[in-house]
Amino acid sequence: MTTTLDDRLAIQDLLYRYARAADDKDTAAYRACFSSNGVAVNWADFEVNDGATIIDSLSQYQWTMHKVFNHAFEVEGDRARGYTYCLATHVADEQGQRRKEDWHVRYDDELLRENGQWRFLRREVQVGLIEKVDLPD
């Protein structure tokens, strides 16, 4: 199992596109990160065809920033398995008080190369810690 530089860069691009779609609250871009039968699990146990569920859940925040790092994947043909760490910052206004939440996330991923592009076949989300801080006005 050898992962080429081209595969590494293409997979990294997928991870960044996913984070950007979440931050932009862009349902179409979010869905485009998944294969036609791809699923995300342990978030709300939904299928990606209902990807609006995740994007809608982000609408409660004034803004988000998903910072993706520490990822590793093994490629075998047109499939890959690996993990990705993410620190997702969310800012919300709760009854006039701004609050920041930092979510420490690990994604366990199965990828499929379709038409030359890597997409998520299965994305399992594990939130390890959520830190909440009230922000000054």
- Residue 44's pLDDT is 53
Domains for the chain: give ranges and CATH numbers: 5-134 (3.10.450.50)
Q: What is the largest CA-CA distance in the chain?
A: 53
- Residue 52's pLDDT is 66
Cα–Cα distances in angstroms (integers) from residue 56 to residues 22, 66, 125, 134, in the given order:
10, 16, 17, 23
pLDDT by residue for the chain (137 residues), tens only, comes to 667 999 999 999 999 999 999 999 999 999 999 998 888 887 654 444 556 677 888 888 999 999 999 999 999 999 999 999 999 999 999 888 999 999 999 999 999 999 999 999 999 999 999 999 999 87
Q: What is the pTM of this model?
A: 0.89
- Residue 74's pLDDT is 96
